[in-house]
Each structure stands twice: as C-alpha cells, then as structure tokens.
Amino acid sequence: MDIGFIGLGNMGFHMARRLVEAGHRLTVADTRPEAVERLARLGAKAAGSPADVADEVETVIASLPTPDVVHAVATGPGGVIEGSRVRRFIDTSTTGSVMAKRVFAALAARNIVQIDSPVSGGVGGAAKGTLAVMASGPRPDVAAVEPVLGVFGKVFFVGEQPGDGQTMKLANNFLSATAMAATSEAMVMGVKAGLDPRVMLDVINAGTGRNTATEHKFPKIILPGTFDLGFTNALMIKDVKLCLSEASTLGVPMEVAQAVMRLLQLACDEIGPDADLTTIVQPLERRAGVEVRAK
C-alpha cells in the first residue's frame, strides 16, 4: 500500500520503519533532514512538506508532539489538507478530543477523513510493534486501514465520533503518569527507611501494587540510573493537562490528577522539561536525601 508518514521522532521513526519492513511503499516528511534521510536509507521516499506527502498517497499517517503542530501539519499552509491525492489522515499523536474534532471538521470540508488513532506503549512498543492502537472514526475507513495500523500493534476500535480515541488515550496516560508518580513516592519512602529497592520491587510485583512503573520503569531505567525511557517531562505534562481540561469540560472532578500534575511540574521545574519522565523521582530523592538505585 502507498502510505505517507509525517513526524519521524522517537516513536514515528520506528512506526515508519516497521511499515517499510512490512512491504508498504512509504513517502515521509519531517522538519529534520537527517530524520528523513534515515528512513530514505531504508527504502522510503523523501518529501519536502506535508502537502507533498499528501500529493503522493491516499493515506497519510502523522506522529507529532503537540496539538498545535498537528493542527498546522494537517490544516495549515503547506499542510496535508492541500494535497491532491490524500483521502485519509491518520493521527497517532496525543492532541485531546477538542483538537481532534477541530481537525476532523477542517479536513471533512475537503472530503478527507480523519482517523483519530493515538498509540500507547512507548518507544519500545513502537520498535517491537506491540503498541496499543486506539482507533476512532467512521467504521468503514478504520476497517480499510486496520491492516496498516496492525503493523504497529494491537488495534482497538473505540468509537465512531471524532476524538473518541483521544479520550481513551488521555485516560490511559493519566493512569500511566499516576503509576509513575505514586511509585516514586513509595520507593523513596522505602529506601529512606532502609529497604533494598530491588526487594521492594520483587514484593510489589508479586502483590497488588504492581503497575507499569514497578514492572519496567524502575527496574530497567531508574535502578540502573539510565533515565532513558524516551518520553519527556514536558510531553507527560501536556498529556495530563489535556486530561484535566477534558475532565473539566465533562464535569468530572480529578483530584488525583491534580496531585500528579504538581509532581510532574516539580520535576519539570527542577530537572527540566526535556529531561526524561523517569526523572520525576529525583526531586523526591533530593528532599529525602536518598537515591533509589541498585547497589
């Protein structure tokens, strides 16, 4: 199948690479020439702009960092909306339902269908093809591209309304951020009391406290001190803010999310917005005077 792919960052590169390896004919674009060249060496065709990509293929996929970037790439000057051949725009980014509905309406005016399809599973999941793919949009259009989405991982059809996939993704990422924040507090407390962090994780993962942070992020990233998950504090703050905004619109109180946001903001202020999400533990460590590391 002829497919376009825009956004070749930590997630997008691996997703695009897997499409090439699956035998799809790929046309790619990114603001960084070196990212485009990396895919071109694997067999993809380079394009100069989103509109150029949309001139070449009927189906364009995007993996982009923020809602504003998605809006510009999809509907702005030189964007996908100006392409002569495009008929479907698949957005795998996290934008929130408000932006998804806005982009859907703009593209629909040009007879382009947006399929809202955010993904979860991190860089590792993108590399291995084990992402959770949360697709929403007109069912026939989702069905038409499901084999393509299946290259990325397991596809879930979550609804036909614009933004359904985004709501699902925000709920997921709020839970992921909460697991990271709560586990950081629990682990720092235990280490401060003199417990071995490896034993703590063994116990938690055999019990009811098990979560994604205890199973992967702490044993693989924090205990060794690599802090290289591949997802930044700023990106998670963006996702939790979007979740809070959506909850407010729906009239749903989210006290836990507010607390998680405060800890994320502390990490962003003290460690840096571009620092790895796993550094959320470091402000807590500083205040407690301990480090959660393998001895």
CB 168 within 8 A of CB 100: no
Same domain for 203 and 130: no
Please state whether beta strands 119-120 and 131-136 pair in parallel, antiparallel, or not at all (unpaired): antiparallel
| Per-residue model confidence as pLDDT tens digits over 129-179 | 999 999 999 999 999 999 999 999 999 999 999 999 999 999 999 999 999
| Per-residue model confidence as pLDDT tens digits over 201-250 | 999 999 999 999 999 999 999 999 999 998 999 999 999 999 999 999 99
Same domain for 279 and 203: yes
Same domain for 267 and 132: no
CATH number of the domain where residue 183 is located = 1.10.1040.10
295 pLDDT exceeds 90? no
Same domain for 89 and 203: no
Total domains in the chain come to: 2
Same domain for 83 and 181: no
DSSP state of 276: B
Q: For residue 69, is it within any domain?
A: yes
Place of tokens 């962090």: 197
The C-alpha atoms of residue 166 and residue 91 are separated, in whole angstroms, by: 10
Q: For residue 294, is it within any domain?
A: no
DSSP state of 45: E
Q: For residue 295, is it within any domain?
A: no
Q: Which of 45, 101, 154, 169 is catalytic?
A: 169
Boundary (domain end) residue, out of 124, 139, 160: 160
Q: For residue 62, is it within any domain?
A: yes
CB 149 within 8 A of CB 134: no
Give the model's pLDDT for residue 17: 96
Q: Is residue 192 annotated as a catalytic residue, yes or no?
A: no
Same domain for 175 and 83: no
| Per-residue model confidence as pLDDT tens digits over 91-140 | 999 999 999 999 999 999 999 999 999 999 989 999 999 999 999 999 99
Give the model's pLDDT for residue 230: 87
Structure tokens that stand for 87 in this block: 């008929």
